[in-house]
A and B are shown apart, each in its own frame.
Chain A
Amino acid sequence: MPQEHNPANLRTEVDRLLAEGAIEAASRRLAELWRREPGSATAAFVGSRADQLRDKLPLTKFKLAILRSFTVEPIVPPLRAEAFAYGIDLEVHIGDFNTYVQDFVDAKSSLYRFAPNAVVLAVRTEDVAPELTHQFADLAPEAARQAAHRVASGYEQWINSFRQHSQAALIIHSLERPARPSLGVVDGQSETGQSGLIRHINSELRRIAGSHRGVYVLDYEGLVARYGSEHWHDERKWLMARLPISAENLLPMAREWMRFLVPLSGRTAKALVVDLDNTLWGGIIGEDGMTGIKIGPEHPGAAFQALQRALLDLSRRGILLAICSKNNLDDAMEALDKHPGMLLRSTHFAAVRINWGDKSQNIREIAQELNIGTDSLAFLDDNPFEREQVRAALPEVTVIDVPQNPAEYAAIVRDCPVFERLTLSAEDQQRTAMYAEQRQRADAEHSFQSKEDFFRFLEQEAELSPVSDLTLARIAQLTQKTNQFNLTTRRYSEAQIAEMANQPGWNIFSIRVRDRFGDHGVVGVAIAHDQGGQCEVDTFLLSCRVIGRTVETALLAHIAKCAAERGCRRIVGWFLPTRKNAPARDFYPQHQFELVEQNANGSLWAFDLTRQEVAFPKWVKLITVN
């Protein structure tokens, strides 16, 4: 087992490793320090050391602007430390107190000069709706309603201005109701009291946000309620330093922002690998047997059912589940499929490794089987030894730390930001079933003599459509999540895709693939940009689960044909290598593209459309949608 370090020694060791230039090791120790002793002071240490590491590590750069009506400065160091632990190099810009309206409206404001990826609007009720807070007792009911209406339409105007100048994500704090309403208990008797009107503003805010791409509501009231309003606030700090949040809730505030920033920066987990004994159920199946393990609606099995319910929720979000357990396969499978207390069954798991082997090796195999990178995996195990072993062997895996008490497992999994999704597509919700179909395909593939026979048997259909409202969210999601078969790895938000679709000369296609085993859903994107008789492929990507069965050729053939029909003489495209996209490296040369340029960023390939065409694969049926 790796040596345990106490936090004071960890600081010394980080500095020693930094002095030696051991970048990766220093970064791991720094993340360990943060995990073990998160807080305001540690955040300052982590921040200063992370500054020395940031340019040497493969971190995702992300720029966040915070527009606010209260002091947020002390939340920023814990936020940046937390981001660092999730592989994000976060740069933060803070607006002046209460200048958010000017910042949104003025195209030359410091907000837009900063060019953020995301903006948080953190405003207190009394600042955005002073009439409804301090002067409420003086307002006639109709005047109060109008005041609420003005606040809601204010949000709508700011969002509209913001969208004229920026495609960044916008995260808006919902408004808190006053803890002690002006009218006392009378306030609770109608919908037009202080609380009722603020609830109304919040529901209007949700409606407005829902009608704009990339605009989200942070349920601030829900967050405060989770920690308890009396406990969350610190009236003295508010009066002294305009800081309304108590010291011990600065980290929870930072973590709530992370639930948006992790999915926005694409640092999410696509699958969660779980242990069985003392994780999915209490006890050890090999020793305690079917009647001895604890899983069911009553204590002590109830805590494990609560965890299973949390895992079911993740699988409905499209996060795959997998098992990695040291057990006898037959014992474990019997419990999984026959125990009456189990909510999860073996069919809920996209990959299963039950053996006595090393867990990190099993996890590598699971990643291969699911066709995702190990950095897209999270790992849940009650045993600290296994967690440390996986962390040491596979530092890119998100290892979830759980305390001794199983009653806390479910909440810890639910709070983990790598499982957050900002929108859910139909593909997400059906993903587990798709992986079951995928296993049938793999079995079928082995039973054919030749690839061609297998392709013919598959009866693939490729449905090619230009971007529409129905596919926009999925297209953006694919650009953000696809790492392996992605020629340029350009990440786009929904708002950016929508913007691009409105520009002349840009063509955005998605591909949906079906075969005899089922529907893969929308699995690929091509974005092409015409300029001066030449069509440049800006983005070309496909989900790995359809690669190698010629639909990638179908997509290329289609965009080449459309480009020729638009009168383009030539189609060109960059291959920009990353750590992960080796599977796409030979794609252009394999399709008779010729190398025209090579530089430090990548290689540019071209295909003459006046003399040749990209052949559409004969075993794929083309369906075009307009």
Chain B
Amino acid sequence: MNPAVFDQIRTMASDLFGVPADRITATSSPETLENWDSVQHLNLVLALEEKFGMQLSPEEIEQMKSIGDTAKLIESKLQATPR
């Protein structure tokens, strides 16, 4: 996993879910983070799209089941479309 991308996503998750960044790991998910509900899931999608200048499809949004999955998804999209 690219540590820079993971760190950025961790900061975003920390901002959005109101949890200190050091308590967020690759396995953090809607099950482990209380504030990660459907509203915040949309906000996370929007924040990712804004930050990384991309659009996520409904299928991709489905794949974001944990912070680690999300980081992998973003990384692969960043590699697929060199910016």
Q: How far is the CB of B80 from chain A (nearest CB, A)?
A: 18
Segment of A36-44, A84-92, A158-166, A466-474 engaged in the interface with chain B: A36-44
Residue numbers in A under 8 Å from B49 (CB-CB): 246-248
| Partner pick for A250 among B16, B18, B44, B46, CB 8 A cutoff | B46
Segment of B25-33, B51-59, B68-76 engaged in the interface with chain A: B51-59
Segment of A233-241, A271-279, A319-327 engaged in the interface with chain B: A233-241
| Partner pick for A44 among B15, B42, B53, B58, CB 8 A cutoff | B15
The answer to whether the Cβ of A185 comes within 8 Å of any Cβ in the partner chain is: no
In the assembled complex, 21 residue pairs joining A and B whose CB atoms fall closer than 8 Å, in A order, are A7-B11, A8-B7, A8-B21, A11-B15, A39-B51, A40-B16, A40-B43, A40-B46, A41-B11, A41-B12, A44-B16, A44-B18, A74-B43, A74-B46, A236-B55, A236-B57, A240-B58, A243-B42, A248-B50, A248-B53, A250-B50
Name the CB-closest residue of B to A7: B11
Residue numbers in A under 8 Å from B58 (CB-CB): 236, 240
Q: How far is the CB of B20 from chain A (nearest CB, A)?
A: 9
The answer to whether the Cβ of B1 comes within 8 Å of any Cβ in the partner chain is: no
Residue numbers in B under 8 Å from A45 (CB-CB): 14-15
The answer to whether the Cβ of A48 comes within 8 Å of any Cβ in the partner chain is: yes
The answer to whether the Cβ of B47 comes within 8 Å of any Cβ in the partner chain is: yes
Name the CB-closest residue of B to A8: B11
Instruction: Encode contact with B along A1-30: 1 for CB under 8 Å, 0 otherwise.
Output: 000000110010000000000000000000
- Please name 7 further chain A to chain B contacts, defined as beta carbons within 8 Å, in addition to the given A41-B11, A48-B18, A248-B49, sorted by A numbering: A40-B50, A41-B12, A41-B47, A44-B16, A74-B42, A246-B55, A247-B50
Residue numbers in B under 8 Å from A43 (CB-CB): 15
Q: How far is the CB of B6 from chain A (nearest CB, A)?
A: 13
The answer to whether the Cβ of A73 comes within 8 Å of any Cβ in the partner chain is: yes
Residue numbers in A under 8 Å from B48 (CB-CB): 247
Name the CB-closest residue of A to B51: A39
**Known contacts A39-B51, A234-B55, A236-B55: A44-B43 contact under CB 8 Å:** yes
Complex CA–CA separation, A559 to B81 (angstroms):
72
Q: How far is the CB of A579 from chain B (nearest CB, A)?
A: 33
Instruction: Encode contact with B along A224-255: 1 for CB under 8 Å, 0 otherwise.
Output: 00000000001010001101001110110000
Counting chain A residues whose Cβ lies within 8 A of the other chain, the interface size class is 20 to 34
Complex CA–CA separation, A39 to B16 (angstroms):
11
Residue numbers in B under 8 Å from A7 (CB-CB): 11
Residue numbers in A under 8 Å from B7 (CB-CB): 8
Complex CA–CA separation, A240 to B51 (angstroms):
20
Q: How far is the CB of B45 from chain A (nearest CB, A)?
A: 8
Q: How far is the CB of A237 from chain B (nearest CB, A)?
A: 8
Name the CB-closest residue of B to A42: B15
Most B C-beta atoms less than 10 A away, residue of A48, A77, A248, A250: A248
Q: How far is the CB of B83 from chain A (nearest CB, A)?
A: 14
Residue numbers in A under 8 Å from B11 (CB-CB): 7-8, 11, 41
Residue numbers in A under 8 Å from B16 (CB-CB): 40-41, 44
Complex CA–CA separation, A8 to B4 (angstroms):
12
Residue numbers in B under 8 Å from A236 (CB-CB): 55, 57-58
Q: How far is the CB of A297 from chain B (nearest CB, A)?
A: 35
Name the CB-closest residue of A to B20: A15
B18–A39 touching, CB < 8 Å: no
Residue numbers in B under 8 Å from A48 (CB-CB): 18
Residue numbers in B under 8 Å from A11 (CB-CB): 11, 15
Residue numbers in A under 8 Å from B57 (CB-CB): 236
Residue numbers in B under 8 Å from A74 (CB-CB): 42-43, 46
Residue numbers in B under 8 Å from A41 (CB-CB): 11-12, 15-16, 43-44, 47, 51
Residue numbers in A under 8 Å from B53 (CB-CB): 248
Name the CB-closest residue of A to B9: A41
Q: How far is the CB of A168 from chain B (nearest CB, A)?
A: 28
Residue numbers in B under 8 Å from A40 (CB-CB): 16, 43, 46-47, 50
Instruction: Encode contact with B along A199-222: 1 for CB under 8 Å, 0 otherwise.
Output: 000000000000000000000000
Complex CA–CA separation, A74 to B39 (angstroms):
9
Q: How far is the CB of B16 from chain A (nearest CB, A)?
A: 5
Name the CB-closest residue of A to B48: A247
Name the CB-closest residue of A to B35: A44
Q: How far is the CB of A31 from chain B (nearest CB, A)?
A: 16
Instruction: Encode contact with B along A74-85: 1 for CB under 8 Å, 0 otherwise.
Output: 100100000000
5 nearest CB pairs, A to B: A247-B49, A41-B12, A45-B15, A40-B47, A41-B47
Instruction: Encode contact with B along A47-78: 1 for CB under 8 Å, 0 otherwise.
Output: 01000000000000000000000000110010
Q: How far is the CB of B22 from chain A (nearest CB, A)?
A: 10
Name the CB-closest residue of A to B11: A8
Name the CB-closest residue of B to A234: B55
| Partner pick for B39 among A73, A234, A248, A251, CB 8 A cutoff | A73
Q: How far is the CB of A452 from chain B (nearest CB, A)?
A: 64
Complex CA–CA separation, A243 to B50 (angstroms):
14
